[in-house]
Amino acid sequence: MFDKDTYIRRRRSLLERMAGEKGIALFLGNVEAPAQYRDNAYKFRQDSTWLYYFGIDAPGFGAVLDLESGKETLFADDVEIDDIIWMGPQPSVASVAAGVGVASSAPYAALEATVAAARAAGRPVHFLPASRYATALTLSRLLGIAPAETFSAGKAGCRRASEPLVRAVVAMRLVKEPCEIAQLDDACALGYEMHTTARKGIRVGRVEQEIVGAMEGVTLAKGWGVSFATILTQHGEIFHNHSHDCTIEPGKLMVIDAGAENNMHYASDFTRTYPTGGKYTARQRDIYQIVYECHELAFSLTRPGTSYRDVHLAAARHMLERLSDVGLVAGDPAEMAADGIAGLFMPHGLGHNMGLDVHDMEDLGENLVGYDDDQRRSPQLGLGSLRMARRLVPGNVVTDEPGIYFIPALIVQWKEQGLGKGCVRYDKLESYHDFGGIRLEDDVLVLPDGARRLGPQRLPASPDEIEAAMEQDKTA
């Protein structure tokens, strides 16, 4: 936990940003998430916004901030003798509240009465979209609305939740404080260690899962665990491939997209693509080099005042120029970029915000988090998936993760629909159907005068660096 003043200051700032609003703001921490039954839960993960404002990393808490009087109340139940046997002695709720500068506390059941009283008095109850089913059920009960109404309406943002509250929270969490940057550097150090362990484990004949276990063990030993489900696959063209039952084959590309969550719940998120035998083939190296250039270009453009949408577009344009060099497209790069041709090769966005969540605040609605009010989301494949488009300000933390993939089903679809006709060289693409995909990702902090990559050390990134590292792994 950060020091008490951090949480006091954040809540005060939130109240100031909500100064024009009436009523109360309701916050719910997470409860345990059953995996198989109530008492066999997944490892507890607190709600990120709750952690940001209240810091208390335990289940069963709620809070109300009165937007008019400024009164803060924490709701939770003190433990009884049975709980002491199973959970050990616990501090009182009052002392937990005091520990994060909240003056008033009450049993959890009083939360219901507090919200009911506000509603009865016609006062607005501001709440954030539910990120879990359990929270949806609680909000439904407290507010008398259907559970489905409590979720974020996806990209569009709030459905019944409070847009002013979402906007105030987003504005704060988007700009990382120095204490948060230190945590992100720490999570990146752990991510570096995970990835290094994984790279050293790549050996033809091993089963992918063995490497996953070793790398996840690293982050469990020093941090909370993984910041998202590990992607480790010789089918990089499948973005969210979470099966790890393949044996490592020679001559393939191994995409490893994985990150650590440290004990303070800050995330890291790195991707590297390794040649399974330690050396890229000429064709693999050609495509890797293009991804690497896009990655470096994006980093060089990342600075305050530039929109990350423009950084995405610059990377996409460079990708098309260079794909033209290797003969996979033909035409004017600017025109092809405007037509969204890059989406065939990179049908995802350049990056996303990162912080307490690996896709920071995605539960609050992608557009409210990642788009300025004057920006509209593109309908194009690729750019349409861009999660962070905003004009950058110092303290933003974004990922820089271009990739090139050869997705057979997508290529067939485009060809059949006549998309990219005249510029996509479908004849040449035939031989790439078994290529897979390449992605390269670092985590980037926007500084007043540019940007820096997070973490004390950078993972090998260029083709030469990666081959050299894998050569050294062999002899070590």
Q: Would you tell me which residues interact with a copy of itself (CB under 8 A)?
A: 33-45, 47-48, 81, 84-89, 131-134, 136-137, 147, 151-152, 209-214, 216-222, 228-229, 235, 237-242, 245, 263, 347, 357-359, 362-363, 407, 409-410, 413
C-beta of 236 vs 333, nearer to a copy of itself = 236
C-beta of 185 vs 237, nearer to a copy of itself = 237
Tell me how far, at minimum, the Cβ of 462 lies from a copy of itself, in Å. Answer: 28
Provide the token pair at 310: 């423009």
C-beta of 88 vs 122, nearer to a copy of itself = 88
C-beta of 226 vs 315, nearer to a copy of itself = 226
C-beta of 91 vs 213, nearer to a copy of itself = 213
Tell me how far, at minimum, the Cβ of 36 lies from a copy of itself, in Å. Answer: 5
Cβ–Cβ under 8 Å, residues 110 and 75: yes
d(CA 249, CA 252): 6
d(CA 314, CA 319): 9
C-beta of 239 vs 280, nearer to a copy of itself = 239
Strand partners, 190: none
Cβ–Cβ under 8 Å, residues 399 and 352: yes
Cβ–Cβ under 8 Å, residues 266 and 183: yes
Tell me how far, at minimum, the Cβ of 209 lies from a copy of itself, in Å. Answer: 6
d(CA 59, CA 163): 26
C-beta of 209 vs 431, nearer to a copy of itself = 209
Tell me how far, at minimum, the Cβ of 213 lies from a copy of itself, in Å. Answer: 2
Cβ–Cβ under 8 Å, residues 375 and 389: yes
Tell me how far, at minimum, the Cβ of 84 lies from a copy of itself, in Å. Answer: 5
Measured distance between the N- and C-terminal CA atoms of the chain, rounded to whole angstroms: 39
C-beta of 144 vs 327, nearer to a copy of itself = 144
C-beta of 119 vs 222, nearer to a copy of itself = 222
d(CA 63, CA 275): 51
The residues, ordered by sequence, that sit 6+ positions from 110 with a Cβ below 8 Å of its Cβ are 75
Tell me how far, at minimum, the Cβ of 70 lies from a copy of itself, in Å. Answer: 29
The residues, ordered by sequence, that sit 6+ positions from 88 with a Cβ below 8 Å of its Cβ are none
C-beta of 155 vs 285, nearer to a copy of itself = 155
Written as one string, the DSSP assignment of 237-300 is TSTT-----PBP-TT-EEEEEE-EE-TT--B--EEEEEETTSS--HHHHHHHHHHHHHHHHHHH
- Rounded to 10°, the helix 463-475/282-301 angle is 120
**How many helices and strands, by DSSP H and E, does the chain display?**
17, 17
Tell me how far, at minimum, the Cβ of 14 lies from a copy of itself, in Å. Answer: 20
Say which residue the tokens 């491939």 belong to: 241
Tell me how far, at minimum, the Cβ of 401 lies from a copy of itself, in Å. Answer: 15
Task: Output b/e per residue, 42-51; b: 16+ Cβ within 10 A.
Answer: eeebbbbbbb
Tell me how far, at minimum, the Cβ of 59 lies from a copy of itself, in Å. Answer: 11
Helices (H), ranges, 24-108: 48-54, 81-87, 93-99
Tell me how far, at minimum, the Cβ of 80 lies from a copy of itself, in Å. Answer: 10
